Amino acid sequence: MRHDHQAESAPTNKADSSRATHELIALIGAGPSGLAGARNLQKLGIAFQGFEAFRDVGGLWNIENPRSTVYESAHLISSKRTTEFAEFPMADEVADYPSHRELKKYFSDFADHFDLRRHFRFGVRVLRVEPVDPADAGTCWRITLQRDDGGQETAEYKGVVIANGTLAEANMPRFEGRFAGQLLHTSDYKSAEQFKDRRVLIVGAGNSGCDIAVDAVHSARSVDISVRRGYYFVPKYVFGKPADTLGGKRPLPPWLKQKVDAIVLKWFTGDPTRFGFPKPEYKMYESHPIVNSLILHHLGHGDIHVKADIARFDGHTVHFKDGSQQDYDMVLAATGYTLHYPFIDREHLNWQGMAPRLYMNIFAPRFRRLAVLGMIEASGIGWQGRCEQAELVARYFKGLDDDRPAAHALERAIAGPAPDLRGGYNYLQLERMAYYVHKDSYRAAVRKAAQQLL
Ligand SMILES: Cc1cc2nc3c(=O)[nH]c(=O)nc-3n(C[C@H](O)[C@H](O)[C@H](O)COP(=O)(O)OP(=O)(O)OC[C@H]3O[C@@H](n4cnc5c(N)ncnc54)[C@H](O)[C@@H]3O)c2cc1C
């Protein structure tokens, strides 16, 4: 069923275009997670239609995509071998930590290699996703789309896979007072030229905050970084190898890993409190570690200074909670992103507090064919971790189609309590940590569930 509100001029690169929409799964987004979804649905011969608001694949790794939050200097934080899709390894000549340009090409090559582009309609934004019958777990989904030419379409689909990304909607804190200079969020930052000759304060020392502070060193008049808490800084290389490629195949128990890695870090990065960072009031891995080899280097050279949490603004002056104050031309809030699924009612995704509560961070408990890909944060989960999510979704949908007992067993599990995938770690109560998982425990659980559907 399809209703066009405007004259039909939709693109026709639809792989399953001959089928009625209510036989198709709708897939939202052609970033790494959406591509993983497409690949796995394709592999099992599940009919689907992808929608991507931008004109091409790659998600936030395509800096031209208006929703992209990478900046000119952005590189992978996890190394390529930890991050890549297992069935599509990056070439040996690609750097250990490739730049966003290289990654844009990687996703473009991935889409071409597996012939995924024809499954997507590009320049088509999903505006609304609604269950046709909210009381029916097996409901079809009414989806409203907006094409780039402004035209809208509504049609009913068999199920929905949401892969619209987690790092696009700015989480902007509310500050006391008024700042007379320029107040930006990381999502507004593209290149170090924006800092030229300015006195810059970066707020937050997460991975983006540290990257951007390092960028600013080369063009700003001065660079300070304001922090509320201490951090663990992991260098990109340890013993000459990408840090995330070290460690045995079998994960250590949390208490031992926290101890061993904290000692290794002390050897390599020393004590960040020497540079003015507070001592972390939590153990390693209870928050996302900062992978950056340059931030401590620049602190050690006096190029960056650490400041306390912000108390208030007053004109160009920033007052800090330790009683100090300093004048700035620009404040850049590197305060992260907030989960954002604007096209679907929160109750359908079972939002609880800061994040949807989904079974294995994937499945909406009340519906049979409503899944989210990519709603995971974990150190080193990579695109393969997202691909394994997609594999599980595809096998589950296929099992439902084929009326297999294993799929119905998973369906019952999805409706029940979600498993604890924190791997014994006690994560900080931060917005980003609301959907944090322990990489090894999570991947093992997802793979096991997928195995049971074979
Ligand atoms: C600076 C930076 C460094 C990072 N480094 C790493 C790293 O080292 N390792 C790692 O694993 N991850 C890293 N990430 C995380 C990154 O989010 C993932 O690598 C990956 O991009 C997630 O893919 P995704 O497909 O879930 O989301 P995205 O890449 O955000 O893609 C979502 C896609 O959905 C589309 N879309 C959104 N809304 C709609 C809609 N309503 N209708 C249609 N289409 C829509 C968007 O246009 C976009 O193409 C980094 C992120 C940043 C910002």
Q: What is the mean pLDDT of residues 174-182?
A: 97
Indicate whether residue 32 lines ligand 1 (CB < 6 A). yes
193 and 325: one domain?
yes
Describe the strand order of the beta sheet including 325-327 as a list of residue ranges: 177-179, 310-315, 317-320, 325-327
pLDDT band with cut points at 50, 70 and 90 for residue 249: low
Residue 1: inside a domain: no
Ligand 1 center to residue 338 CA distance, Å?
13
Instruction: Return the percent helix, strand and coil in the chain, to nearest 5.
Output: 30, 20, 45
Overall domain count for the chain: 2
Burial (Cβ within 10 Å: 0-12, 13-18, ≥19) of residue 292: buried
Residues 300 and 193 in one domain: yes
Which of ligand 1's atoms lies nearest the C-alpha of 381? 11
Ligand 1 centroid, distance to 410 Cα (angstroms):
28
- Arithmetic mean of pLDDT, 402-407: 97
Section 281-308 average pLDDT? 92
Task: Tell me whether residue 446 is in a domain.
Answer: yes
Quote the tokens at residue 335.
């305060």
Extract long-range pairs of 410-416: CB within 8 Å, 24+ residues apart: 410/449, 410/452, 410/453, 411/368, 413/359, 414/359, 414/363, 414/365, 415/365, 415/366
pLDDT tops 60 at residue 10: no
Secondary structure of 384-415 as H, E, C letters: HHHHHHHHHHHHHHHHHHCCCHHHHHHHHHHH
Taking the centre of ligand 1 as the mean of its atom positions, its distance from the CA of residue 40, in whole angstroms, is 18
Categorize the per-residue pLDDT at 17 as very low, low, confident or very high, splitting at 50, 70 and 90: low
70 lines ligand 1 (CB under 6 A): yes
End-of-domain residue from the set 333, 357, 378: 333
Q: Are residues 286 and 343 in the same domain?
A: no
pLDDT for the residue 5:
35
Tens-place pLDDT, residues 208-220: 999 999 999 999 9
Residues 6 or more apart whose Cβ sits within 8 Å of residue 444: none
Q: Does 213 lie in the same domain as 248?
A: yes
Beta bridge partners of 129: 143
pLDDT of residue 8: 33
- CB of residue 37 inside a 6 A radius of ligand 1: no
Pair 293, 372 in one domain: no
The domain in which residue 65 lies consists of 16-169+338-451
Contact of 153 with 72, CB cutoff 8 Å: no
Do 317 and 219 share a structural domain?
A: yes
396 and 426 assigned to the same domain:
yes
Does 11 fall in a domain? Answer: no
Q: Specify if 277 maps to a domain.
A: yes
- Within-domain flag for 275: yes
Residue 7 binned pLDDT confidence (cut-offs 50, 70, 90): very low
Question: Does the beta carbon of 77 sit less than 6 angstroms from any atom of ligand 1?
Answer: yes
**If you take atom 27 of ligand 1, which residue's CA is the nearest one?**
165
312 with 343, same domain: the answer is no
* pLDDT over threshold 80, residue 189: yes
Task: Judge contact between 363 and 443, C-beta under 8 A.
Answer: no
What pLDDT was estimated at residue 15?
58
pLDDT of residue 286: 85
Model pLDDT, residue 248:
66
Q: Tell whether 306 and 195 lie within a shared domain.
A: yes
The pLDDT value recorded for residue 226 is 98
Query: What CATH number is associated with residue 230?
Result: 3.50.50.60
At position 46, the amino acid (one-letter code) is I
Written as six digits, the tokens of 401 are: 């189609």
* Ligand 1: centre distance to CA 208 (Å): 14
Maximum distance among all Cα pairs of the chain, rounded to whole angstroms: 68
From 333, 354, 372, the end of a domain falls on 333
The pLDDT, as a whole number, for residue 432 is 65
Q: Which residue would you say has higher pLDDT here, 283 or 150? A: 150
Position 12 confidence tier, pLDDT thresholds 50, 70, 90 = very low
Same domain, 324 and 342: no
Residues 327, 221: one domain?
yes
Do 181 and 164 share a structural domain?
no
Proportion of the chain above pLDDT 70, given as a percent: 95
Q: What is the pLDDT of residues 353-387, one digit of tens each?
A: 999 999 999 999 999 999 999 999 888 899 999 99
Between the CA of 32 and the centroid of ligand 1 the distance, in Å, is: 7
Residue 109 lies in a domain: yes
Higher pLDDT: 286 or 226? It is 226
Q: What is the mean pLDDT of residues 241-251?
A: 80
For the cut 80, the answer to whether the pLDDT of residue 47 exceeds it is yes
- pLDDT, one tens digit per residue, over 433-451 is 788 888 989 999 999 999 9
Asked, for residue 50, whether it belongs to a domain, the answer is yes
Q: Is the CB of 62 under 6 A from ligand 1?
A: no
Identify the pLDDT of residue 35.
Answer: 98
